[in-house]
Amino acid sequence: MRAACDTATMTIVLIAALLYLLAAAALVRGVAREPRPGNAWWAGPALGAVALHATAHVLVWRDVGAELHFFAALSLVGLGMAMLTALYDVRGRMAALGVIVFPIAALTLLGYGQSTHAASDTLDWRLHLHAWFALLAYAALAVAAVLALMLWAQERALRRREFHRWLRALPPLTELESLLFRTIWVGFALLTATLVTGVLFVEDFFAQHLMHKTVLSVLSWLAFGALLFGRWRHGWRGTRAVGWTLAAMALLVLAFFGSKFVLELVLRRTG
């Protein structure tokens, strides 16, 4: 069964997108006005946007069943990123993360709202579990990639003694680096669960067009594992950590969204 969002669901999508942008604007305003931006003004819109984002998916699933097509998966990753960002922003000085992630979540949700919806009829509960582990891993590691870019920008500015206003939105360098690796550990654990459930539950990689996804996912897992080992054993940090994080995330994006884009939007295959 295929359908477009009804008027009520599309209204929720638009309101959620506006709330995401309002939360991001509130964080920008806080950075501009205060040395240590507070979280009172952005939290309400952000949490409301996250709740409505999830509600939009639930309403569509009520009509057509669970779906994991390209735009649905992208939106769910955006939702996971927004939830993790809201948690980080509540706990500390991470306004810059919300400024980046909340608009991304809004765009993914708008893309989902404009797409047609169809249930993933070929997936049983075991494969749905595998897919949910994958989506959670992508969300956590995508946030890690954003943190890596922020770490690179902060280090670059400090080396050049360029003390921009936006630096006030970031925690101290060591705290940001520590948050990056904690996030990678979470994502790595979820990615491990993804690969394990894939081995247990996916029967035929070739028939389901999954071999290339598996190879790229394993390469990404190895890259993240090497980074974590290098951090533990050799104290890797700075640009080396950033480079490994972004390279591993690029492999993961190609593994899932790259292949889904080609199969679903270019070749028009849904199996």
Provide the pLDDT for residue 5: 61
Q: Among 107-121, 157-171, 182-196, 212-226, where is mean pLDDT lowest?
A: 157-171
* 8 Å CB contact between 74 and 111: yes
178-205 average pLDDT score: 89
> How much is the average pLDDT of 75-103?
87
Q: Where are the domains of the chain?
A: 1-118, 122-271
Structure confidence at residue 50 (pLDDT): 97
The total number of residues shown for the chain amounts to: 271
- Both structure tokens of 200: 């247990």
- Say what the pLDDT of residue 123 is: 64
Distance (Å, whole) CA 197 – CA 192:
9
Helices (H) and strands (E) in the chain, counts: 9, 2
3-state secondary structure (DSSP) of residue 214? helix
Rounded to whole angstroms, what are the CA distances from 225 to 140, 186, 222, 228, 229?
Answer: 15, 12, 5, 5, 6
Determine which helix (DSSP H) or strand (DSSP E) holds 3, and give its type and residue range: strand 2-3
- Give the number of other CB atoms < 10 A from CB of residue 107: 16
| pLDDT beyond 60 at 211 | yes
pLDDT of residue 37: 47
**Which of 167-181, 217-231, 254-268 ranks highest by mean pLDDT?**
217-231
Q: Flag whether pLDDT at 115 surpasses 50.
A: yes
Where does the pLDDT of residue 242 fall: very low under 50, low under 70, confident under 90, or very high at 90 and above? very high
Cα dihedral 77, 83, 89, 92, rounded to 10, equals: -100
Question: In the predicted model, what is the mean pLDDT of the chain?
Answer: 84
Q: Are 221 and 271 in contact (CB under 8 A)?
A: no
Q: 3-40 in b/e burial notation, b at 16+ Cβ within 10 A? A: eebeeebeebbbebbebbbbbbbbbbebbeeeeebebe
* CA–CA distances in Å: residue 13 to residues 5, 22, 99, 136, 163: 9, 14, 19, 21, 38
Q: How far apart are CA 44 and CA 53, in angstroms?
A: 14
Total-model pTM: 0.89
